[in-house]
Structure 1
Amino acid sequence: MNLRLPPPLRHLVKRLLPLVAETPAYIVGGTLRDLLLGRPIKDLDLVLPVPPSLLGPRIAQGLQGKYVPLAPNMGRVVIPYQGHNAQIDLHHLTTTLEEDLLHRDFTIDAMAVPLALAWRKDDILDPTGGLLDLAHRKVRLVSKGAFQEDPIRLLRGIRLATELDFHLDDATAQAIARHHHLLTQTAPERQRDELVRILATDRAGQALKLMDELGLLATLLPELGPARGFPQPPKHYWDVLGHLLATVSFLDSILAPHVPMEHESLRQMLWDTLGPPADGLRAYLDEEMGPDVPRRALIKLGGLLHDVAKPHTSTVDDKGRRRFLGHEKRGAEVAKQIMSRLCFSRRQSDFVAIMVEAHLRPMHMSQQGLPTARAIFRFFRGCGEAAQAVLLLSLADHLATVGPQVDLHHWRRHIELVRYIILEGQREELASPPKLITGHDVMEALGIPQGPLVGHILRVVQEAQAVGEVRTREEALALARRLAAAQLSAPSGRT
């Protein structure tokens, strides 16, 4: 077997080689694994027998990049590369190369090869059998103590198996089940990063089910513990936790056209029926909500948490009917707590919390037929950038409610509802109505000071304009006067 770097990376390494000519450098870890698998590579993972602080600045200067020290024995060179920033991670080799590989986590990442443009199979140092595990599509621990050395590897093993479509070998799965509690010893930021990478894959639902089987899901998200086995009304095919996991699996299928789906006709019907809005949804899904945080990952997290509060809000009436009144609001609070604990940004936290709180709105606003323009305006205004995510969650929620008992007629009607809401929300008068009056206009015309009342008046006027009740500046000011009079004459004067 002969290996060659792909052309873009080959050009980068050709520039790098003279800068490390006097120092033996080795490609290791995920870079070598992905090279062997023929996967895209944009970053390099290198080990060197000298501290990165001695060589990193020289490499950065030679490649017109920037050196960033990460730890005493770690550094990173960030360089512009094919329209984005590429990373060259540098690790100080303080033992022999073989000893270093024997202290890594999984065999498929415990191989090394000299930094070069091409190699033979004999050039690969593979002390743990990683090549054979690659051939068998297996994720296997290097040593029994690997999880104790760094418990984040518990999640990383799941993530690798999911990203690569590999399987955990039996001993590794059993070790995760034994040691899942160690995950609580890791930094929440590291937990977040691994969870996001799992959710960003096309097999997130499958990964979460595996995590649940091995005890890892409840350790990472103990808020989901009460959902296991919690009963639902008869129309639901699964219990609460089963429903949440199925929701993520259906989101996998809906959001990734190439992922196998038991009922392929359901997905085909979705994208065919959506028509023009489909292109806008695809662009929306491809956006990132922060460095290495794709929107589709957060949508799946919203799907996983949307009914998290059902066990805490469950009641049974005198006719034996189970209800979960207010579970969406309580769930949004729980979601915010989880997002805060895992150190997500404010924007990311709000996005998921809005998804949870609003997940019933598409159905609630269509109980009497197609939703009104006012209801659709309020939906998009209230949900903001999460609006389309809520609609996608609504579709997956429907499928995860009925399970294999899905009715194609009801499914098509649900898709048509989503299509109608998107198209109506895109109409200029709803999406971006021209401003008829400003806050200054309201204060000057009504003689009132700046404050909450002005904001309330502007919101009501904008809504009336969006639904066609107000069309001119004069009509807007007339409505503003009526609103102000009603508010100021109210006993409390509240808005």
Structure 2
Amino acid sequence: ERVNLELIKLFGGQNAVEALHSLNDFSLLEILIPEVAEMKKVPKNSHHHLDLIEHSIETVKQVQCFYDKAAKEVKDHCDKEFFCGQKRLAYLKLAAFLHDVGKPSTWQIEPSSGRHRFIMHDSEGAKLIVPTLKNLKFSKKQIAYLQKMIKNHIYPSGVVTSDDSSEKAYLRFYRKMEDEVIDLIALAYADRLSALGPDITQEMIDKNLNGLDNLLKGYFEQKNKLAPLPKLLDGKEIMEILQIPASPVLGQIIHKLQEAQIASEVNTKDEAIAFIKKITL
């Protein structure tokens, strides 16, 4: 637990980037976080001007820069005490360092183009980091936060750069990410500024960052209107309607129903009943 606290203090400090470089130079990072050894093997590529470990450290730096330039309401959010008496910003910077931890195990190079691919590295990273976090004595809530950040770090940029980008997509993002909206936008912003390979144009950067600015602005405009969604059906009702016992399947159905509500595909109890009857698992 002492190592856990000191690690969080490291990320919470103003000199986190310098400390990470020093630990990396002496090969101490991989002692704390074994996945670092594999991260060091992933080189720079057409989308990244830095190798993976340097990109990860640069992302921490860019999160700090984002915070330093942020409006008061963003700083207030990041300055809140989160876990173990440490500020939320410290955990956000740790998430920034870990956001691409799934890349080594998903790394592929296309034979025809030579392009580097890391398909599903976000989901993979969120899963594989858990044993390390448990060994470092992180709590379930701490792990859940870091997993959510790793798994969804591409989501904000996807929302704002998609051809289907819309107010509905923004609202869906706000509802799904809840308290981590600001954190994820900050991480996406930092990630974009830490990946400046030869294939990345200024137009791409501007579109991404301007979109993230609008996503953040929209969140503060909509924040007070984002009332909790009503529970249209509880677990007992679903079991009775579908004639199923309590089981993991029930949890999956509830999750799918919540997703449909967030997407505004289901708005009434009758629609919810019709929806769950059509679910195939």
- 1:251 is aligned to 63
Q: What is the CA distance between 1:374 and its match in structure 2?
A: 4.6
- 1: distance between equivalents of 2:117 and 2:50? 16
For residues 339 and 430 of structure 1, do their structure 2 counterparts lie closer, same or farther at Cα, with a shift above 3 Å needed?
Answer: farther
For the residue of structure 2 that corresponds to 1:315, the secondary structure is strand
Contact 2:266 2:272 in 1 (8 A): no
- 2: distance between equivalents of 1:230 and 1:374? 37
- 1:385 is aligned to 179
Q: Which has the larger radius of gyration?
A: 1
- 1:200 is aligned to 12
Q: Which has the higher helix share?
A: 2
Contact 1:380 1:387 in 2 (8 A): yes
Q: Which has the higher strand share?
A: 1
Alignment partner of 1:226 is 2:38: yes
- 2:52 is aligned to 240
Q: What is the CA distance between 1:461 and its match in structure 2?
A: 5.5
Residue of structure 2 aligned with 1:415, choices 209, 215, 227: 209
Identity %: 23
- 2: distance between equivalents of 1:410 and 1:457? 34
- 2: distance between equivalents of 1:343 and 1:326? 27
- 2: distance between equivalents of 1:222 and 1:441? 44
Deviations 1:332-354 (A, max 9, x none): 12322222111111111111111
- 2:72 is aligned to 279
Q: What is the CA distance between 1:396 and its match in structure 2?
A: 0.7
Task: Report the AA paired with residue 90 of structure 2.
Answer: A
Q: What is the CA distance between 1:384 and its match in structure 2?
A: 3.7
- 1:303 is aligned to 96
Q: What pairs with 1:95-494 in structure 2 (closer than 5 Å)?
A: 189-257=1-69, 271=70, 278-319=71-112, 320-369=114-163, 371-402=165-196, 410-425=204-219, 427=222, 431-433=226-228, 435=230, 437-439=232-234, 452=250, 455-456=254-255, 458-460=257-259, 462-464=261-263, 467=264, 476-487=268-279, 494=281
After superposition, the CA RMSD in angstroms is: 3.3
Contact 1:374 1:463 in 2 (8 A): no
Contact 1:331 1:357 in 2 (8 A): yes
Task: Report the AA paired with residue 316 of structure 1.
Answer: I
Deviations 1:185-204 (A, max 9, x none): xxxx2222221111111221
Q: What is the CA distance between 1:209 and its match in structure 2?
A: 0.4
Q: What is the CA distance between 1:457 and its match in structure 2?
A: 6.9
Which piece of structure 1 moves more, 345-354 or 376-385?
A: 376-385
- 1: distance between equivalents of 2:202 and 2:163? 19
- 1: distance between equivalents of 2:245 and 2:96? 40
Deviations 1:58-99 (A, max 9, x none): xxxxxxxxxxxxxxxxxxxxxxxxxxxxxxxxxxxxxxxxxx
Task: Report the AA paired with residue 294 of structure 1.
Answer: K
Contact 1:289 1:348 in 2 (8 A): no
Task: Report the AA paired with residue 387 of structure 1.
Answer: V
- 2: distance between equivalents of 1:390 and 1:457? 23
Q: What is the CA distance between 1:243 and its match in structure 2?
A: 0.6
Q: What is the CA distance between 1:482 and its match in structure 2?
A: 2.1
Deviations 1:357-387 (A, max 9, x none): 1111122233433633454344344434333
For the residue of structure 2 that corresponds to 1:232, the secondary structure is coil
Deviations 1:235-290 (A, max 9, x none): 21101111111111112222235xxxxxxxxxxxxx4xxxxxx3332111011222
- 2: distance between equivalents of 1:210 and 1:223? 17
- 2: distance between equivalents of 1:414 and 1:292? 34
For the residue of structure 2 that corresponds to 1:230, the secondary structure is coil
Q: What is the CA distance between 1:417 and its match in structure 2?
A: 1.6
Q: What is the CA distance between 1:456 and its match in structure 2?
A: 4.8
For the residue of structure 2 that corresponds to 1:202, the secondary structure is coil
Task: Report the AA paired with residue 340 of structure 1.
Answer: K
Task: Report the AA paired with residue 202 of structure 1.
Answer: Q
For the residue of structure 1 that corresponds to 2:126, the secondary structure is helix
- 1: distance between equivalents of 2:151 and 2:80? 22
Task: Report the AA paired with residue 82 of structure 2.
Answer: M
Q: What is the CA distance between 1:436 and its match in structure 2?
A: 7.3
Task: Report the AA paired with residue 358 of structure 1.
Answer: N
- 1: distance between equivalents of 2:274 and 2:92? 41
For the residue of structure 1 that corresponds to 2:196, the secondary structure is helix
- 2: distance between equivalents of 1:413 and 1:390? 17
Which piece of structure 1 moves more, 376-385 or 313-322?
A: 376-385
For residues 400 and 435 of structure 1, do their structure 2 counterparts lie closer, same or farther at Cα, with a shift above 3 Å needed?
Answer: same
For the residue of structure 1 that corresponds to 2:59, the secondary structure is helix
Deviations 1:300-346 (A, max 9, x none): 11111111221221111221221111211221123222221111111
- 2: distance between equivalents of 1:354 and 1:415? 22
For the residue of structure 2 that corresponds to 1:366, the secondary structure is helix
